[in-house]
């Protein structure tokens, strides 16, 4: 059949459009490698694993980037990276291990070394200088351990500090989170007193339930309790985050549905923000300050969404809600327990959804702090994802602006 010139032109145009679409679909730019700690099955003894994804620059979508890596135990609960993004650490509760992986340029992981802890880990953090990794966990009393790091390798145990409630040393204290200041000057740990707050169980103590423990870090790495430590922190603090300017600490109170703010005095000491605490959604479980230091995001485990705040400078007060809790753009899958902002561009926010067996992706408007749904979210994972970290890919710089 002979086609007219018009028909030929239409056909050529259509073919060209299809080719263009095909080529553009292949131009996927990876800005970050994304790691999820979860389990290979739903059983309590299912092996832990780390799944590796690549983050697309245009959509924030996650796609598998490398083979799944065993976590070195079962029930992985926490991950952290060094500030140069060349090392990744995972803590496993089943065998009380801290496992070190080297991160390659293509995002792949290679297990390097591991240590067995003397207590069950709950949370880990690496200082900005990459000289120490801190592990909080245990119970009654809680524990904070510090291990030295050398080029990422886990070295000797530097110290183990017992965490107890003042005046109630025999109470069952449960650490929940640990973080460090960007200038390496201090370490902070959240914990709650299960003897004083035990829903469904017997309360045996009249102590204040929630606490933040502060430690100044000496030149040799020695930890010294900061003035006034421990500091009261509501009922059941679950997570904490510091701002990039070393001026503020924010703590989620799971039981009271609140965000508690502290200002840092004299470099390490904490003082309550006088107009707090600040309302969140139901059962806040994780918190992060964006790399620019001007927004705060809280994952609400029961409400399945993210509460977004702007930070009023210079007081640090989360004074205005950017995206109100429950808005369509802030929704996640079931039970978000960890939260992350991509380090390369600071444009995508993710939550690990423990019951949803998924990762939710939200687009972050850097100018307004608002969130909107990624078109293809959520992304499936293994069972019960509990921790997430990301490293920038290639020449992408870490997004950070001093407010």
- Is residue 18 included in any domain, yes or no? no
d(CA 230, CA 237): 13
CA torsion, ordered 171, 119, 229, 285, to nearest 10 deg: -90
Across 67-71, 92-96, 236-240, 312-316, least confident range: 312-316
Of 258, 204, 213, the residue nearest 234 (C-alpha) = 258
Share of the chain above pLDDT 70, in %: 89
- Is residue 94 included in any domain, yes or no? yes
CB-based burial of residue 157 (10 Å sphere; 0-12 exposed, 13-18 middle, 19+ buried)?
A: middle
Average pLDDT over residues 42-69: 94
d(CA 117, CA 136): 11
pLDDT for 358 beyond 50:
yes
Sign of CA dihedral 133, 238, 400, 358: positive
pLDDT digits (tens, 9 = 90+) for 146-194: 999 999 999 999 999 999 999 999 999 999 999 999 999 999 999 999 9
Read off the tokens for 295. 């927004």
d(CA 347, CA 304): 21
Share of the chain above pLDDT 90, in %: 83
- Is residue 23 included in any domain, yes or no? no
Q: Cβ contacts of residue 315 below 8 Å, gap of 6+? A: 263, 273
Read off the tokens for 268. 């390490």
Read off the tokens for 219. 């030149």
The angle at the Cα of 354, spanning 351 to 358, to the nearest 5 degrees, equals 60
- The CATH number of whichever domain residue 373 belongs to comes to 2.130.10.10
- Is residue 6 included in any domain, yes or no? no
Of 105, 106, 86, 104, the residue nearest 150 (C-alpha) = 86
How many of the other CB atoms lie within 10 Å of CB of 395?
A: 6
Across 211-215, 271-275, 337-341, least confident range: 271-275
pLDDT band of 104, cuts 50, 70, 90? very high
Count the domains in the chain. Answer: 1
Q: What is the pLDDT of residue 326?
A: 61
pLDDT band of 313, cuts 50, 70, 90? confident
Q: What is the pLDDT of residue 9?
A: 34
pLDDT band of 213, cuts 50, 70, 90? very high
Q: What is the pLDDT of residue 1?
A: 44
Global pTM value: 0.91
d(CA 74, CA 102): 20
**DSSP-derived secondary structure letter, 165:** B
Between strands 76-81 and 87-92, the pairing is antiparallel
Q: Cβ contacts of residue 279 below 8 Å, gap of 6+? A: 257, 258, 259
* Residue the block writes with tokens 């999820």: 36
* Domain enclosing residue 289, as ranges: 28-392
- Is residue 357 included in any domain, yes or no? yes
- Is residue 17 included in any domain, yes or no? no
């Amino acid at each position: 059949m002979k086609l007219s010139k018009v028909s030929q032109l239409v056909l050529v145009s259509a073919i060209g459009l299809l080719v263009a679409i095909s080529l553009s679909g292949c131009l996927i730019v990876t800005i970050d490698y994304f790691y999820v700690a979860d389990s290979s099955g739903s059983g309590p003894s299912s092996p832990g694993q780390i799944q590796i994804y690549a983050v697309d620059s245009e959509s924030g979508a996650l796609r598998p980037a490398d083979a799944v890596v065993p976590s070195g135990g079962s029930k992985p609960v926490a991950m952290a990276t060094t500030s140069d993004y060349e090392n990744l650490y995972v803590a496993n509760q089943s065998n009380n291990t801290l496992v070190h992986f080297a991160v390659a340029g293509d995002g792949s992981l290679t297990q390097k070394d591991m240590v067995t802890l003397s207590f069950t880990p709950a949370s880990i953090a690496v200082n900005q200088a990459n000289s120490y990794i801190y592990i909080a966990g245990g119970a009654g009393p809680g524990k904070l351990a510090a291990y030295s790091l050398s080029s990422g390798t886990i070295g000797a145990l530097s110290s183990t500090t017992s965490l107890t409630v003042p005046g109630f040393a025999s109470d069952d204290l449960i650490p929940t989170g640990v973080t460090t200041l960007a200038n390496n000057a201090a370490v902070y740990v959240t914990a709650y007193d299960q003897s004083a707050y035990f829903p469904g169980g017997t309360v045996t103590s009249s102590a204040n339930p929630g606490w933040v423990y502060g430690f100044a870090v000496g030149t040799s790495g020695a930890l010294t309790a900061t003035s006034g430590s421990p500091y009261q922190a509501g009922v059941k603090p679950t997570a904490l985050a510091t701002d990039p300017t070393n001026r503020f600490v924010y703590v989620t109170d799971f039981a009271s549905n609140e965000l508690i703010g502290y200002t840092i005095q004299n470099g390490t000491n904490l003082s309550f923000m006088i107009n707090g605490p600040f309302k969140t959604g139901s059962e806040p479980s994780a918190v992060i300050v964006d790399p620019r230091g001007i927004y705060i995001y809280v994952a609400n485990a029961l409400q399945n969404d993210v509460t977004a705040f702007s930070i009023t400078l210079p007081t640090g007060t989360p004074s205005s809600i950017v995206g109100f809790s429950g808005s369509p753009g802030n929704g996640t899958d079931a039970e978000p327990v960890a939260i992350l902002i991509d380090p390369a561009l600071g444009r995508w926010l993710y939550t690990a959804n423990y019951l949803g067996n998924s990762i939710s992706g939200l687009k972050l408007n850097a100018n307004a702090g608002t969130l909107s749904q990624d078109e293809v979210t959520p992304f499936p994972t293994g069972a019960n994802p509990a921790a997430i970290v990301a490293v920038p890919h290639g020449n992408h710089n870490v997004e950070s602006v001093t407010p």
